[in-house]
Amino acid sequence: MVLLHIGRLIRRQICTSARLYKPGAYEGEGKTTLHILNREDELGLMIDGYSQVGFRLNNDMTVLGSMVIFPRSVLSWAVDDVSEINEESLCLFSILEPKVDILVIGIGDKIENNDFYRRLLPFSRKFRISFEILPTVQACSTFNFLNSEGRNVVGAMIPPKDIKPTDDDHVNTKLRYENLYETEDFILKV
């Protein structure tokens, strides 16, 4: 249903831009495309992991760069930094039907500047969209929790630049790579 409304968005050209889209007018590099990553109705998308270059989802798909994640689909988001989050980059969320219960924005790393939050308040009030603005590490968990509750949640995530791995992360990485080199007959040890 969300994808149907995205198609309507493109056709009606709700988001104003200096470049107007005309079907067939541009077929070169940078053309906007949409790929549906998860078509299984019984499973909702969850964020299993994140890195400095993207995200890993529960369906074993990897999303490079920033993303917008819905309970059943994911889109690439052309936002690389918190300074690029504005009314234009959020315009998609204002026209979704059914209306979004909550928009979880993962801003990458924690910021101390409160001006960013103040810039988004007029958009939130104008379109009556509730925001949860968090560093991406916490935003991933929040999105997963709200999605598991069946809420109509959308996540807009920027990969964090500063990641501090824990001892568990090191062990899990070693185990994952060890399993990559296993075969039925032998185990390659390094």
Section 3-12 average pLDDT: 44
Name the residue with higher pLDDT: 31 or 97.
97
Bridge partners, residue 102, by sequence: 153
Task: State residue 5's pLDDT score.
Answer: 45
Task: Kindly state the greatest CA–CA separation across the chain.
Answer: 63
Instruction: Give the whole-number percent of the chain exceeding pLDDT 90.
Output: 46
pLDDT for 147 beyond 60? yes
Query: For residue 53, how many other CB atoms are within 10 A of its CB?
Result: 10
For 92-127, how does the pLDDT look when each residue is reduced to its tens digit (9 = 90+)?
999 988 889 999 999 999 888 778 888 899 999 999
Going from N- to C-terminal start, the domains of the chain cover 43-180
Q: CATH for 43-180, among 1.10.10.10, 3.60.150.10, 3.40.1230.10, 3.40.50.2300?
A: 3.40.1230.10
- Among 178, 190, 96, 81, smallest CA distance to 136 is for 81
